[in-house]
Amino acid sequence: MCIRDRPTLLRRGKMGTVQGDPAWRLTDTGARIDPLSLQQAPRQASVLERLHKSPHELPRKELDVPMGVLHTMHGKGWIEPLQQTAPPKDAANLVLKSNIRLSRDQQAAVSAIRDSLGEFHAFLLEGVTGSGKTEVYLQVIESVINQNHQALVLVPEIGLTPQLVDRFRRRFPVRIALLHSGLSDRERLHAWQLARSGSAPIILGTRSAIFTPLQRPGILIIDEEHDTSLKQQDGFRYSARDLAVWRSRFCRIPIVLGSATPSLETLENVNLGKYRHLILHTRVGAAGLPQIGLIDVRGKRMQDGLSPPLLAAIQRHLDADGQVLLFLNRRGYAPALICHACGWIAHCERCDARMTFHASNHQLCCHHCGSQRNMHNTCPKCGSAALITLGQGTERVEDALASHFPDHERVRIDRDTTRRKGELESLLDKARSGHGRILLGTQMLAKGHHFPDVTLVGIIDADQGLFGSDFRSSERMAQLIIQVAGRAGRADRPGEVIIQTHHPEHPQLCLLIREGYAAFAKAALEERRATCLPPYASLALLRAEALRRDLPMKFLECAQSLAASQGTQGVEYWGPVPSPMERRAGRYRAQLLLQAPRRSDLQRLLRLWVPELERLEHSRQVRWSLDVDPQDTL
Ligand code: ADP
Ligand code: ZN
Ligand code: ZN
């Protein structure tokens, strides 16, 4: 290979590894140390702090401490010098060759993607958790870097864990620009510059990183493509997945969408022949897929949401030295507080919603607007002291687990236990190390984490997802069940998954369990086709809200007449109607849904309609927003 083909990075000698004075970076262990805990060692604390804030390694000059301090910290395993290698003879040395032997499926996937480098191609890489998707990304990225191009990898917010970053760092001794919501403006700018100048061959980020400028784009990868956090829900609404596909077509580079549970939209694109389907059929190593079983909880004596068969299964797995993971997508102690004497229920004053009781701070809390108030001692309506809590959240289940299994340490992971910096990491550590025997959590626990010792996964309440009011509820439920189930029986231990439900005959649930996600997705797509919903139609949702109840509806009625006057061939209307939760945070909300079997019809209407909306009477009295391809219609 001639010298011109070498990555510019090497030509300019910017490997961050100047011989004799290496740059330093945090190790995985170091990343978990809170600098504040090092008050006795202020210089070490300052090094940690700087490295925490920096998206890449830093030279000693910038760390501004004597070498001895760095050596001490290196000795503790907190930091490490960036590998000192002689400048490589050719670019292929840039990445450390992995000595992993790819499975046949992985090999096929890597070859297909590699062969497409330099052109636009869309791939769906489907494989359950642990089937080796990330390894496929890494091997493809290796080729991309060797061709002196850049790889942009997008993961959901919750997936950008230190483990993932560490895996990339260990594999590629090159600059990696990290982009996530926790960066300061300066850090973000710096990461952008690394990407734009081309000096970072890898850009690893969350959904907003789709806008990162690239000097020499080579590939786009979206991990967990089904994950809804890929769509920004507030302000400027965009789907990072759709943008990414558009961008790779524009740049003429391949895009890889990876998932264990692909979205129905993506599967339809496979059906249409637009995306190529690459499948990793088995898990790496001996790990088989877990057995999934339903527990019919009808008529069973439940103890804080746990049925006797589930309790027995937990005991059985703990006795056999397994780890147990329980999933409940509801935080707090109980989702309702009711007066046993008169039936009064604690509602939020600003929303059409019930207050959730949180035992930890003895507060009632609204999960929709965030307002809080002190727990009542007596009923505000009748004065009775007989206030009782109904239903269960993670706090309550944790209490119940503590009394049933007092000898087994529990780890609860939800928004309440992970508010402070570093808490999530330390809880995940406890879970991963096997210290915590019973893991309990909301979807924060369901996604992307690897717990090799888990042998039992329990889904405490599947009914929540089965009867959601949004048309995507069942798709989400299925994805979640498969994702959570993917946590069981990794490594060499067989896993078991137990789902509690009042509806064991629910057809979609049964199909999912008997035949798997692909069969579920096929049936769900047929249903979408019959009801003319995405991906067989395009939707746009016009939302409006105001302090006065009548205004949103008035605005939307005007908006609808306007559209009617502009000609609406091919587009149907639903509404305007008050939103399912009409009042939120003190504002009344309403919505108008547009539905078009042909996207071009919808686009034509939107082009005429949207610029005129501002001029409508009431448009200044309401807050309105248009959501094209809404992720939910709530
Ligand atoms: P996924 O991204 O699908 O969850 P990973 O790529 O993380 O899967 O693979 C799961 C584990 O198996 C990782 O520890 C990875 O290093 C390892 N692994 C992946 N592919 C192979 C392979 N071909 N041979 C051996 N180990 C592998
Ligand atoms: Zn009362
Ligand atoms: Zn509220």
What is the rounded distance in angstroms from the CA atom of residue 586 to the CA atom of residue 548?
9
Tokens of 205: 């980020």
The token pair at 37 is: 């805990």
* Distance in angstroms (rounded) separating the CA atoms of residues 257 and 242: 11
Q: What's the 491 CA to ligand 1 centre distance in angstroms?
A: 11
Prior bond of 611 cis (ω within 30°): no
Cα(230) to centroid of ligand 1, in Å? Answer: 24
Ligand found nearest the CA of 345: 2
Q: Residue 630, preceding bond cis, omega within 30 degrees?
A: no
Instruction: Enumerate the β-bridge partners of residue 205.
Output: 154, 179
Ligand nearest to C-alpha 135: 1
HSE-up of 554 (CA within 13 Å, CB side)? 12
Secondary structure element (H or E) that encloses residue 138, with its range: helix 133-146
Give the pLDDT confidence score for residue 94 in this predicted structure. 47
CA of 106, closest atom in ligand 1: 23
Q: Which two tokens stand for residue 277?
A: 């389907």
Q: Whose Cα sits closest to atom 16 in ligand 1?
A: 135
Tens digit of each residue's pLDDT (9 = 90 or more) over 21-33: 677 888 777 877 8
Could you give the CA distance from residue 310 to residue 457 in angstroms, rounded to a whole number?
A: 10
pTM of the model: 0.77
Burial class (CB in 10 A: 0-12, 13-18, 19+), 570: middle
Residue nearest to atom 22 of ligand 1 (CA): 102
Tell how far the Cα of 414 is from the centroid of ligand 3, in angstroms: 20
Give the neighbor-by-neighbor strand order of the sheet with 372-374: 356-358, 363-365, 372-374
Query: Is 470 exposed, middle or buried (CB count within 10 Å of its CB: 0-12, 13-18, 19+)?
Result: middle
What is the model's pLDDT at position 441?
A: 92
Using a 6 Å CB cutoff, which residues line ligand 1? 100-103, 106, 127, 129-135, 284
Q: Which residue's alpha carbon is at the smallest distance from atom 6 of ligand 1? A: 132
pLDDT in tens, 48-68: 888 877 766 787 778 888 888
pLDDT for the residue numbered 589: 96
DSSP label at residue 92: G
* Ligand 1 center–CA 151 separation, angstroms: 20
Number of H helices, E strands in the chain: 21, 26
**Residue whose CA lies nearest to ligand 1 atom number 10:** 130
Name the residue with the closest Cα to ligand 1, atom 23: 102
Distance CA 57, CA 198 (A): 17
27 backbone dihedrals φ, ψ, rounded to 5°: -90, 175
Beta carbons of 545 and 583 less than 8 angstroms apart:
no
Ligand nearest to the CA of 379: 2
How far is the centre of ligand 2, averaged over its atoms, from the C-alpha of 386 (Å)? 8
Closest protein CA for atom 8 of ligand 1 = 132
Low pLDDT (below 70) residues in the chain: 1-21, 55-56, 82-98, 158-159, 229-238, 285-289, 447-449, 489-493, 634
Query: Which two structure tokens, joined as six digits, stand for 168?
Result: 């990339």
Instruction: Provide DSSP, 508-547.
Output: HHHHHHHH-HHHHHHHHHHHHHHTT-TTSSEEEEEEEEES
Q: Which residue has the tokens 């289940």?
A: 397
Q: In angstroms, what is the span from residue 304 Cα to ligand 3's centroid?
A: 25
CA of 186 to the centre of ligand 3 (A): 35
What pLDDT, on a 0 to 100 scale, did the predictor assign at position 286?
53
What does the pLDDT read at residue 4?
31
Contacts of 343 (CB under 8 A, 6+ apart): none
Q: What confidence score (pLDDT) does residue 546 get?
A: 95
User: Which residue, judged by its Cα, is nearest atom 20 of ligand 1?
Assistant: 132
Looking at residue 578, its amino acid is: P
Closest ligand to Cα 134: 1
**Atom of ligand 1 at shortest range from CA of 137:** 6
For residue 96, the model assigns a pLDDT of 52
CA–chain centroid gap for 76, Å, is 33
